[in-house]
Amino acid sequence: MTATMTHDYAPFAESRIEDGAEALRASIAARGYLFFRGLVPVDDIQAVRQDVLALCAEAGWLDPARDLMEGVVAPGREPTSEGREDYNAVYRRILKQLPRFHALPEHPALMRAAGALLRSDDVFVHPRRIGRVTFPNNPEATTPAHQDHFYIRGTVDTFSCWVPLGDCPVPLGGLAVLEGSHRQGFLEHTERFPAAVGGRGVPVDHADPAWRASDFGAGDALFFHAYTIHKALPNRTPDRLRLSTDNRYQRPGEDIHPGALETHLGL
């Protein structure tokens, strides 16, 4: 069984930071997510993208005949994914060597949005920075439908933010959200996907009309509640890497799981 299925989903409802904190909180209370266009300046995203792709190129993952920023996989390069030794060797370097990757979650634009959701000017960003480098032709590794609280624990008032490092049209494998699913509360993650990133999920109807997904542009950001059901979409391009980041925000002093204070995957 693969972790996700592909359908034509209705697009995300779009929010603007200029709508104000009360309107943003009302929107996420109703939908379980906020989708911002152009929240982070494109140049800031592209700088992090360049840093990550440079390490991918050094590992031999990219086609040296193509422009680095295109993220084109080298001919004949087999896909790899989180947990495999060759993937972890590169990912460890991303986590250890890239200051701009570490700084991105605390970008003022992201902090402003998180502060509005948390009703606080004092926002705690989880130190566990998470990045993804998703190969094409590897649907088995696609993250299944799940709630982040299953992995995060700690306070329920935690918000995740998914930001692609570059343009991410749906065929490249963005994120899909089941609108309104946060109102179900915490669900048991009884589905198992041994080859998938994450590996555990909740049973869902992938044809449910409440699923939402859109093309992302560089600088777009998706915030969602810890109970909101979401999933990755498979990278269906023939030869492009999909780069993205996941980061979490909560109020300081509230309950936090010790794992959120450690590096991702212990790397």
pLDDT tens readout for residues 164-213: 999 999 999 999 999 999 999 999 898 888 777 788 899 999 999 999 99
| Residue 228 domain flag | yes
User: Is residue 59 a part of any domain in this protein?
Assistant: yes
153: left (phi over 0), alpha (psi -120 to 50) or beta: left
Rounded Cα gap, residues 208 and 233, in angstroms: 15
SS3 206: coil
How much is the average pLDDT of 64-88? 97
pLDDT digit string, tens, across residues 104-128 = 999 999 999 999 999 999 999 999 9
Cβ contact 228:31 at 8 Å: no
What average pLDDT does this structure show over 56-75?
98
Tell me whether residue 267 is in a domain.
no
Take residue 199 and report the two structure tokens written for it. Answer: 């590996």
**Residue 262 located in a structural domain:** no
Asked whether residue 149 is domain-assigned, the answer is: yes
Cα dihedral value 161, 6, 165, 38, nearest 10? -70
The tally of domains found in the chain comes to 1
Which structural domain range is residue 48 located in? 14-252
Return the half-sphere exposure (C-beta side, CA atoms, 13 A cut-off) of residue 92.
Answer: 10
Residues above pLDDT 90, as percent of the chain: 90
Task: Inform me whether the pLDDT recorded for 233 exceeds 70.
Answer: yes
Per-residue pLDDT band at 7 (split at 50, 70, 90): low
Check which CATH number belongs to the domain holding 166 and give it.
2.60.120.620
Predicted TM-score (pTM) of this structure? 0.94
Asked whether 152 and 254 are in contact (CB, 8 A), the reply is no
The answer to whether residue 259 sits within a structural domain is: no
Compute the Cα dihedral for 152, 84, 81, 208 and give only its sign: negative
In a domain, 30, yes or no: yes
Amino acid in the structure at residue 126: H
In a domain, 8, yes or no: no
